[in-house]
Amino acid sequence: MAVVGAGPIGLELASAFKLGGVKYLHFDAGQIGHTVSWMPRQMRFFSSPDRISICGVPLQTVEQEKASREEYLAYLRSIVEQFDLTVHTHEKIMSIQKSGSKFLLTSEKATGQHQYVADYVVLATGDLNRARELNLPGEDLPHVSHYFDEPHRYFRKRLLIVGGRNSAVEAAIRCQRAGADVAVSYRGDEFDTQSVKYWLAPEIEMLIKTERVTYYPLTIPTVITPQHVSLRQVQTGQCTQVPADFVLLLVGYEMDTTLMEQVGVALAGENQAPQLDLQTMQTNVPGFYVGGTAAAGTQIRFQLFIENCHPHVGKIFESITGRQCPFDATDKTHSGRYALPES
């Protein structure tokens, strides 16, 4: 058995196998919790701690608030220690081939390529594998990034942020507070309030209204130079040149479907979501499972996140072992805010 991906759900699944006495191999291309590790420093999850806790282990936070990125990474490390999980970190699975009833996995790490054979494979590789690119001239310039790390870099600098969902809004507020001269370009008229944390929406509105953040609604960037960004108004076609020392293109992330395609998993719809039996999370390829947010494909509207992926763990464990998951892996989603996928 091979589990690929050691984010929260991959770790929750590995803990179930470990507790259940099932032999498995576990890989991550980066360190455990790699996706959480590239989130902005001191970012707070929108979920309350109990909803993103895994394996029945309570997640306590220092200030009884929602967990920060740092608290959650520490929690994930504790999970690995608590259950003494062996994870082959910094070892990326480059290819998976089906060979009869078995799978042949080829990995790459610092010491070179390695091969493994498994009866079952579970992909828990997440849906945020690479930044969505706009394919603009200048997108690869050194002052341009698709990731917001921390605000200090932008102190007393002109920062243009492109995007209108939570990442862009949160970066705009934090950088403005940290003394940056912030402008935001968004292709829509108003921010996507469905995705923006509810406590941030009034603040960004106030910052724009009081002209402490400059807002360019209904615009798309067309060219980035070392000095400025050209923004085109989508209705009039008129172009504005906005001076910028730094540019953050926070327009979302995409899932890498390579491994699924290699073994012949059927992908469907705009999201390129793997076709699954939702009772077991097994794909159309026997023995090949997908759990966690990877089960949703590239999410245009977020449907799967940590909160409601816990049941995947129980379903996969039960399908592969024929036994009940050693801990309670149930849906911890609160009602109302997000639509759940039909099962």
Minimum distance from CB of 309 to ligand FAD (Å)? 6
Is position 287 an interface residue for ligand FAD (rule: CB under 6 A)? Answer: no
Q: Given the complex with ligand FAD, which of 125 and 298 has the nearer CB atom?
A: 125
Interface with ligand FAD, residue 49, by CB under 6 A: no
Tell me: does residue 39 bind ligand FAD (CB under 6 A).
yes
One residue of 305, 311, 316, 329 binding ligand FAD per CB under 6 A: 305
Burial class (CB in 10 A: 0-12, 13-18, 19+), 67: buried
Near ligand FAD in 241-270, by CB under 6 A: 259
Options 14, 16, 25, 45; binder of ligand FAD; rule CB under 6 A? 45
Q: If binding is defined by CB under 6 A, does position 292 make contact with ligand FAD?
A: yes
233: burial class by Cβ within 10 Å (0-12, 13-18, 19+)?
middle
Does residue 313 touch ligand FAD according to CB under 6 A? no
For residue 121, give both structure tokens.
């494979």
- Residue appearing with tokens 């172009």: 239
User: In the complex, what is the shortest distance from the CB of residue 200 to ligand FAD, in angstroms, rounded to a whole number?
Assistant: 12
Residue 296, amino acid: A
Residue 128: Cβ-neighbour burial (10 angstroms; 0-12, 13-18, 19+): buried
Quote the least distance from Cβ 65 to ligand FAD, whole Å. 12
Q: Which residue has the tokens 């990034």?
A: 145
Per-residue contact track with ligand FAD, 87 to 126, x per CB under 6 A? Answer: -----xx------------------------------xxx
**Which residue's CB is nearer to ligand FAD, number 80 or number 306?**
306
Find the binder of ligand FAD among 1, 3, 4, 263 (CB under 6 A).
4
Report, in Å, the least distance between residue 6 CB and ligand FAD. Answer: 5
3-state secondary structure of 314: helix
Segment 205-234, which members bind ligand FAD (CB under 6 A)?
Answer: none
Show the CA angle centred on residue 232, arms to residues 228 and 237, nearest 5°. 145
CA distance 93 to 91: 7
Binding residues for ligand FAD, total number by CB under 6 A: 35
Distance CA 295, CA 278 (A): 10
Query: In 3D, which of 217, 162, 177, 170 has the Cα closest to residue 198?
Result: 170
For the segment 5-24, give every residue that binds ligand FAD (CB under 6 A). Answer: 5-10
Sheet containing 282-283: order of strands: 25-27, 2-4, 121-123, 288-290, 282-283, 276-277
Rule CB under 6 A: say whether 309 interacts with ligand FAD.
yes
Using CB under 6 A, list all residues that contact ligand FAD. Answer: 4-10, 27-30, 34-36, 39, 43, 45-47, 52, 92-93, 124-126, 128-129, 167, 259, 292-293, 305-307, 309
